[in-house]
Amino acid sequence: MQSITNNQSLSIGYAQAILIITVVLGHYSVRPLDVFWPFIYHMPMFFMLGGVLYKEKPIINSLASTLKKHGLYLLYTYLIIALISILINTVYDSGIGKIFSDNLFETPILAIKSNFHNNSYFLVAWFLFAYMFVTILCRLILQIKSKPILFVIAIIIGYLGMGYVAVLFHQTKNQLFNVMSQVMVGSMMYLIGYVLKDKILALRNIYIPFIATAVLFTLAKMKILYGMGMSWSDYHPEFLLHALSTTLGIMTILVITNNLSDMGKRFNLLSVIGSKSKQIMSYHLLSFFAADLIFYYLDMYDITKAKALSHYVTGQYWYVYVIIGVGLPLLISLLFDYLKSEMAKKKLKRAS
């Protein structure tokens, strides 16, 4: 498989930026995107981009790097957000879940059983956890080299994950089935990203967004526009309806980002946001609380009502939450990178 060009890398970065902005929008009560409701396409597309970016490594190396990259990040981010959440609760009496088990070593079991929603300001951890297993599973499946076979496998896995395993989860409330469904649906999108990589990165037809808007608007008016509730394996029985709406949302973003990457101009802010999508995903709910504090100190909001998914709802100032939800984790991450770079320079200078 051909390596990704600079323009293609730019497009993927822009797509990641748009997606993480929609994640932030999706966790706020005001819905400015209307028919392009983020839950239709944002998490499936993140998994799909993982397949587009797939690089083959020896299986053992792939397993080790995946556990280090995703597992370790998940662990220390859980702890950081937990400690900040406890501080917030102590100072502002803002309710939080049971973040730690009575037996500290049982906390990972508690988190997994709770779908990570026990640490409510890090409820997106379900995605990072599922993505880790998707990466491992797909590395094994990609031992198969036939793309038509891989595509069929992807559809079968996704269909079973949505139509059967998700149903088992809702019937039994067994979290194992929820994780299995997340991984199966995520793997479907990851494999589709791998198989259709060239077509995905070549999509530029400017009429697609117009057609997508018309179709999604029609589905919404017919009350059959459904989100892909991957977090709790919440799917409509009509697999094809999910496939249609998710595909249209993803294709619209790809047309935009692929054309942007061809303009001969680099949109630096989008690129940086895309490169920090993991950090923004992890910390945007805590950043929402920072926005809540602004309205609290302006005597516009009772801060004790603030929760991970409950904030000051305002049609007038909704963009404040988007700007802070994206901007605060971005700035902190860039500052951390700068300090890390300066420390490395000083260490190198001393060594020489």
Q: pLDDT digits over 15-41, tens only?
A: 999 999 999 999 998 888 778 888 899
Nearby residues of 155 by Cβ (< 8 Å), 6 or more positions away: 188
Question: Residue 126 is which amino acid?
Answer: W
**Rounded average pLDDT over 182-197:** 98
- Between 227 and 110, residue with greater pLDDT: 110
Question: Tokens for 227?
Answer: 């989100």
Closest to 253 measured CA to CA, from 4, 7, 22, 2:
22
Torsion of CA 101, 105, 108, 110, to 10 degrees: -30
122, 81 Cβ separation under 8 angstroms: yes
Q: What is the pLDDT of residue 61?
A: 87
What is the rounded average pLDDT of the residues 114-135? 96
Region 271-290: what's the mean pLDDT?
A: 97
Phi-psi region of 28 (alpha: psi -120 to 50; beta: other; left: phi over 0): beta
The answer, yes or no, to whether residue 271 has pLDDT greater than 90, is yes
* Encoded tokens for 174: 């067994």
The answer to whether the CB of 230 falls within 8 A of the CB of 185 is yes
As a whole number, mean pLDDT of residues 41-58 equals 94
Is 43 within 8 Å of 230 (Cβ atoms)? yes
Which residues, listed in sequence order, are joined to residue 310 by a DSSP beta bridge?
A: 307
Residue, of 96 and 145, whose pLDDT is higher: 145
> Which of helix, strand or coil describes residue 96?
coil
Q: In the predicted model, is pLDDT for residue 2 greater than 70?
A: no
Average pLDDT (340-346) is 89
The confidence score (pLDDT) of residue 28 equals 92
- Is the pLDDT assigned to residue 91 strictly greater than 60? yes
The percent of residues above 90 in pLDDT, for the chain, comes to: 82
Percent of the chain whose pLDDT exceeds 70 = 99
As a whole number of angstroms, the distance between CA 275 and CA 272 comes to 5
Say if CB 85 and CB 99 are below 8 A apart: yes
Q: How far apart are CA 111 and CA 265, in angstroms?
A: 44
Q: Are 204 and 255 in contact (CB under 8 A)?
A: yes
Nearest CA among 319, 331, 312 for reference residue 94: 312
pLDDT tens for 211-252 read 999 999 999 999 999 888 999 999 988 899 999 999 999 999
Query: What residues does 229 pair with on adjacent strands?
Result: 234
pLDDT > 90? residue 314: no
Give the chain's mean pLDDT: 94
Residues 166 and 71: their CA atoms lie apart, in Å, by: 24
Other Cβ atoms less than 10 A from the Cβ of 165: the count is 21
The per-residue b/e assignment along 101-120, b for 16 or more CB within 10 angstroms, e otherwise, is eeeeeebeebbbbbbbbbbb
pLDDT at 264: 87
Mean pLDDT of 41-67: 92
- Closest C-alpha to 289, from 305, 311, 269: 311
Q: What is the dihedral of CA 51, 52, 57, 61, to 10 degrees?
A: -50
How many CA atoms lie less than 13 Å away from 255 in the CB half-sphere?
15
Nearest Cα residue to 307 out of 113, 88, 99, 108 = 88
Which pLDDT does position 1 carry in this prediction? 54
| pLDDT band of 297, cuts 50, 70, 90 | very high
SS3 state of residue 265: coil
